[in-house]
Amino acid sequence: MAEKDYSQLDKTELIKIIEKLESRKKYGLIWDEEKVKEQFEKDAENALPVLKEIKGKEIVDKDPSKPVNFLIEGDNYHALSVLNFTHQAKVDVIYIDPPYNTGDTSWKYNNNFVEKEDAYRHSKWISFMNKRLILARSLLKEDGTLICAIDENEQPRLGIMLEEIFPKHEIVCVSIVHNPRGIQGTNFSYCHEYAYFVYPGDGKKYISTHEREDPSLRNLRDSGGESMRTDARTCFYPIIVKDGKITGFGGVPDQKFHPKGINEKKKDGSIYIWPIDSTGDERKWRYSRSSVEEIIKALRVKEVRGKFDIYLYKDEDRYKTVWIDSKYDASEYGTKLIKRILGPNTFAFPKSINVVKECLLAVAKDKKDAIILDYFAGSGTTGHAVMELNKKDEGNRSFILCTNNENGICEEVCYPRIKSIITGYKDQIDNKSISGIGGSLKYFKTKFVKKNNNGDDFKTRITAECTEMLCLREGVFDEVQKTDHYCIFQKGNKTVAVYHSITRTSLQVLKKELEKMDGEKILYCFTLDPSGLSKTEFAGWQGVSLEPIPQKILDVYKQIYEY
């Protein structure tokens, strides 16, 4: 990127530059946008992306109720553009592990490796990431979460960028020890990397608890400073026990009332247990009367020296902001794991599968039908992690992976890995046969429809190429009928029809076919009219949702591409 020679500018031009600088924000992330177009921009000049399925790579599970997963080969900017039509506000979790911009040969920008000495190294990375994060933002549900892995090279800049793109979200940076041996630096030996968690800042709970390796019993009665009855009146009440089980909770008594001891036996055989210690001091429970019922399943009754007391069984804990565990080791559970699946020399520096699983568990533990997107899919660790989670808790989470095919990464690493996990494989190190988890996968490639001066012709051609996108949008892929003018797809109680002809001669035939079908029915119908479908033309259509194409697609793309 050449430096501008300001000495050659006249006064008017210099004043304009100064005014522009004065108008810029005084705080935030400011970078120099490179004037040269990125490769994805060159690919999409006078063209718009669509998806084409590679049928020979499809994997179909025997169980039709299982979710369908997707792998999209192509530049992730184009894939995100398509997903802005098919999955806007539908994605529960986005997990990405983008290029770390280390200055080695791991990342290209405009087909050139970005070296550490490049004066615009950080600007190029910020520009690259910013464009894609903005597109990805609109894919998240209102309660969706973005997780972005990163290391020390771009961690500070990424944090500021996320604050600008997600101003109303809470952003937490977690440190993960992924290489306990350390990577030697000039001054420090780096043993950790980071994961940014970005979720709505509305005060609701978005991060789940995790299982403790050392479950513990802790007395529910408080102790230490500020543990007396007088410190929290609503935390002093009886817990009712009968036959060794908790049957209920009494009310908060008047302050003048004082129980005779920790246990009060009642005529019906029940026992009232109060938060009174062995010295007779009236203390308080750790939970107030209004909240204790929420944790009743974690409470245990225990007899100690002839007296019954209440204990809190804790087998789960909140996630901390530093993760240290041998299972996060990228060498053992990343590099060695992929060697076992695909053999040696397949992919450099894959993420530990346990890091990805833990990140996903933190935000999707209770979302067993979550849609999870990774648009820097690389070796496919995210897809592998999703399948492992489903196997463990019988979930139905699905994944969408997007990656280019540079150096064969999609066809020779990501796809074979996912296929191996689904169908099974032979361990390349110890020759053991590993059973497949099962699942379905569809493989798509991005393709471009070239624009020309004839707008109607372009609309006709993009309509002819958009069927896979429509099926992806609706999650319905099984073709049950096809003619020269339309095709019909079904899944369960849902029917999707695509009428792609400008000729209306078969429209009434299609109407009769749809009338035979029950359940939800959607018709995507080609029209050249940008305002939509004619109400007169579709008079009498009952129980069918009508969607005009390609205008709905073009409206989305107009926000992304300049045309």
| 168 or 46, greater pLDDT | 168
Mean pLDDT of 13-31: 72
Q: What is the pLDDT of residues 454-478, one digit of tens each?
A: 889 999 999 999 999 999 999 999 9
Place of tokens 């063209």: 47
State the average pLDDT over residues 38-50: 81
pLDDT of residue 102: 79
Confidence grade of residue 46 (pLDDT, cut at 50, 70, 90): confident
d(CA 442, CA 416): 13
Please, which residues bridge with residue 440 across strands?
68
- Compute the distance between CA of residue 196 and CA of residue 385 in angstroms, rounded to an integer: 18
- What's the CA gap between 48 and 556, in Å, rounded? 11
Q: What is the dihedral of CA 426, 428, 432, 438, to 10 degrees?
A: -40
SS3 261: coil
pLDDT band at residue 441 using 50, 70 and 90 as cut-offs: very high
Residues 6+ apart with CB under 8 A from 95: 147, 149, 356, 359, 360, 372, 373, 374, 382
Query: How far apart are alpha carbons 155 and 138 in whole angstroms?
Result: 23
Dist CA 477 CA 442 (whole Å):
10
Neighbours of 235 (CB within 10 A): 23
366 has a pLDDT exceeding 50: yes
All domains in the chain, ordered by first residue: 48-208+321-444 (3.40.50.150), 211-318 (no CATH), 455-558 (3.40.1350)
Q: Is the model's pLDDT at 44 over the cut of 50?
A: yes
233/220 Cα distance (integer angstroms): 16
Query: In whole angstroms, what is the distance from residue 84 CA to residue 139 CA?
Result: 6
- Describe the chain by its helix, strand, coil percentages, rounded to 5: 30, 30, 40
Is the pLDDT at 212 greater than 90? The verdict is no
- Residues of the chain with pLDDT > 70, as a percent, come to 95
* Stretch 73-92: mean pLDDT: 97
Instruction: Give the per-residue pLDDT at 22.
Output: 72
pLDDT of residue 117: 80
Mean pLDDT of 512-516: 95
Greater confidence (214 vs 277) lies with 277
pLDDT confidence band for 35 (50 / 70 / 90): low
Per-residue pLDDT band at 36 (split at 50, 70, 90): low
Q: In Å, what is the CA distance from 262 to each residue of 258, 265, 303, 304, 309? A: 11, 10, 12, 12, 8
pLDDT tens, 269-316? 999 999 999 999 999 999 999 999 999 989 999 998 899 999 998 878
Task: Name the pLDDT band for 1 (thresholds 50, 70, 90).
Answer: very low
Band of residue 39 on the pLDDT scale cut at 50, 70, 90: confident
Q: Encoding tokens for residue 529?
A: 């009219």
What amino acid occupies position 173? C
pLDDT, the chain, mean:
92
The rounded distance, in Å, linking the Cα atoms of 262 and 242 is: 15
Single pTM value for the model: 0.83
pLDDT on residue 256 = 95
pLDDT at 3: 56
Average pLDDT over residues 195-209: 96
- Percent of the chain beyond pLDDT 90? 77
Q: Greater confidence, 308 or 46?
A: 308
Q: What is the pLDDT of residue 34?
A: 59
